[in-house]
Amino acid sequence: MTSKFTKQLCLIFLVSLFLSCKTEKNYSTENPNIIIIYTDDLGYGDVSAYNKGTLNTPNIDKLANEGIRFNNGYASSATCSPSRYALLTGTYPWRKTGLKIITGGSLVIDTTEMTIPKILKTKGYHTGIVGKWHLGLGSGDGFDGTGVINYNSNISPGPNQVGFDYSHIMADTQDRVPTVYIENGDVVNLDPSDPIEVNFFHQEKHNDYGLPTGLKNPELTTMKWHHGHNGSIVNGVPRIGYMKGGEKARWSDIDMADHFLEKAQEYINKNKDKPFFLFYTLQQPHVPRTPHPRFEGTSGMGPRGDVIVEADWCIGELYKTLESEGILDNTLIIFSSDNGPVLNDGYYDDAVEKLGDHTPSGGLRGGKYSLFEAGTRVPFITYWRGKIKPGISNEIISQIDLFNSISKIVGIEYKSKDGIDFSDLIINNKGQGREELILEASTRTAYRKGDWVMIPPYRGPSISKNVNIELGNSIDFKLYNLKEDPSQKSDLSKKEPEKLKEMIASFVKIRGRAFSNIENLVLE
């Protein structure tokens, strides 16, 4: 009797084991299409699924509500280029000396480095990027305005040399020259008789270089610069840097969202019969905020709100394309943002004045450029119709982990330097997330472990006057408990000296004794 019962139990156990193996295997053998939708400067609280307020993002909400909404999802960094580097390579950006925001600089990913698209190519994927690149182009040295890129012949190395079969990009940002699209290394619509020249050198010296500038001819601008953006004026918008030529190739700012959407849709249509990876990197809501007229006034919050509504619409349209092409059920969509929110990032555009009750940071402290949570904690959503069950996760996960996780999902165990495989979390909402994570903002680093965050001392202003954001600089170590104090109001470093010591020790283990303050600290 007992043995019959035991046999039955064993049988049930084996059958359920078989079934569970089958479900686990399902996603790793099917080679789904993978789309990473990546917004620029969209805050934790800018998505209404995260922060029900005055701004509505119904299409992103659909992904969040019918997929997994991660409440502790991070970009590696509080600025763009480092986050994008970390996402594509699974490597902490501070390992790359001097990696900061790029302005006309050269490619920061080494062409020998492994990247997500390169991994996917080994599994027969077609890979594409449409949108903002901001990882540098060409092989000069330096991240800043060396002006060495020749835009008049095929530009290489670039996205196509680090794993993308297809690229249709803007080089850096919408506020930087050259204001042209680049497809597979070639400037789109370039007239050879009107070559493009660009430089980023100091304005006093080069104020007479190229197009009229915001500094000298403010009367020619339709958008006024607040700080920084007083170089060449294109379409009434003064930019960072100076440009001449390339008149026919210049983009129309108000059409940029539609342009990238169309290119993304074209890419999907063309590649729908094989597995593909699309990195769709929207420019919104980064400055200059230039909504198409049909979105003007739709948010009641001025251009910043309007371009978020526009970006949300684009995501809805992309979704419809996947549905009408019949490939939605075979497509994993990952949605996130490259860093936290900023209101005034260099232009007078009513972002502050018309904000009303909306909270872009969703109640987190800081914003873009900050070591506080709002700098790096961003919307992070995974969606796969019919495969991912709706859910919410409070596990800690970083964009750095997408490299290992995506590898696992397509059946390769490729491990990056700093990433962790969270495929089970991403697909099944199962298992634990990160125990610890280094956070980065303009080469400064902080440390999260469990609910605790430690920010080491840094020189510099506590608040950036230009953007009005608390940067996380202080002469002391700061310690916060996010469970009890999600908005980092109470520094516990004096109250919890043992915890602080433990946090510093663990931080130093990963980061090294990179700071004199830490070197002087007694760590017995």
Q: Which is nearer to ligand NG6, 128 or 145 (CB)?
A: 145
Q: How far apart are CA 183 and CA 73, in angstroms?
A: 31
x/- track of binding to ligand NG6 for residues 145-184 (CB under 6 A):
----------------------------x-x---------
Q: How far apart are CA 43 and CA 343, in angstroms?
A: 10
Q: Which two tokens stand for residue 74?
A: 């991070």
Q: How many C-beta neighbours within 10 Å does residue 391 have?
A: 15
283 to 312, contacts with ligand NG6 by CB under 6 A? 286-287
Measured from the CB of residue 139, what is the shortest distance to ligand NG6 in angstroms?
Answer: 21
Q: Which is nearer to Ca ion, 78 or 190 (CB)?
A: 78
445 to 504, contacts with ligand NG6 by CB under 6 A? none
Backbone angles phi, psi at 4, to 5 degrees: -65, -45
Measured from the CB of residue 132, what is the shortest distance to ligand NG6 in angstroms?
Answer: 8
45 to 64, contacts with ligand NG6 by CB under 6 A? none
Q: Which of 126, 134, 263, 448 binds ligand NG6 (CB under 6 A)?
A: 134
Consecutive H or E run containing 130: strand 126-132
Check residue 345 for interaction with Ca ion (CB under 5 A). Answer: no
Amino acid at residue number 419:
G
Q: Which of 34, 55, 80, 314 binds ligand NG6 (CB under 6 A)?
A: 80
Q: Choose the stretch contacting ligand NG6; rule: CB under 6 A; options: 155-163, 339-347, 381-389, 393-401.
A: 339-347
Q: How long a stretch of residues is the chain?
A: 524
Measured from the CB of residue 399, what is the shortest distance to Ca ion in angstroms?
Answer: 12
Check residue 175 for interaction with Ca ion (CB under 5 A). Answer: no
Q: Which two tokens stand for residue 25?
A: 């295997």
Q: Which of 61, 113, 306, 345 binds ligand NG6 (CB under 6 A)?
A: 345
CA 442 to the chain's CA centroid: 15
Please check whether residue 104 is in contact with residue 144, taking contact to mean a CB–CB distance below 8 angstroms.
yes
Peptide bond into 390 cis (omega under 30): no
SS3 368: coil
Q: Give the one entry of ligand NG6, Ca ion, none that residue 337 binds, where binding means its C-beta sits below a cut-off of 5 to 8 angstroms depending on kind.
A: none
97 to 126, contacts with ligand NG6 by CB under 6 A? 101
Consecutive H or E run containing 10: helix 2-29
SS3 170: strand
Q: Which of 340, 346, 362, 472 binds ligand NG6 (CB under 6 A)?
A: 346
Enumerate the β-bridge partners of residue 130: 168, 280
Query: CB pairs under 8 A, 24+ apart, for 231-236?
Result: 231/177, 231/203, 232/177, 234/177, 234/179, 235/179
User: Of 446, 472, 450, 447, which Cα lies nearest the Cα of 460?
Assistant: 472
Q: Give the one entry of ligand NG6, Ca ion, none that residue 474 binds, where binding means its C-beta sits below a cut-off of 5 to 8 angstroms depending on kind.
A: none
Measured from the CB of residue 82, what is the shortest distance to ligand NG6 in angstroms?
Answer: 8
Q: Which of 41, 418, 440, 470 binds Ca ion (CB under 5 A)?
A: 41
Please check whether residue 199 is in contact with residue 145, taking contact to mean a CB–CB distance below 8 angstroms.
yes
Amino acid at residue number 316:
G
Check residue 80 for interaction with Ca ion (CB under 5 A). Answer: yes
DSSP β-ladder status, 276-281 and 33-39: parallel
Measured from the CB of residue 342, what is the shortest distance to ligand NG6 in angstroms?
Answer: 8
Check residue 338 for interaction with Ca ion (CB under 5 A). Answer: yes
Measured from the CB of residue 42, what is the shortest distance to Ca ion in angstroms?
Answer: 9
Summarize as ranges the residues that interact with ligand NG6 (CB under 6 A).
40-41, 79-80, 101, 134, 173, 175, 227-228, 240, 286-287, 339, 345-346
Summarize as ranges the residues that interact with Ca ion (CB under 5 A).
40-41, 80, 338-339
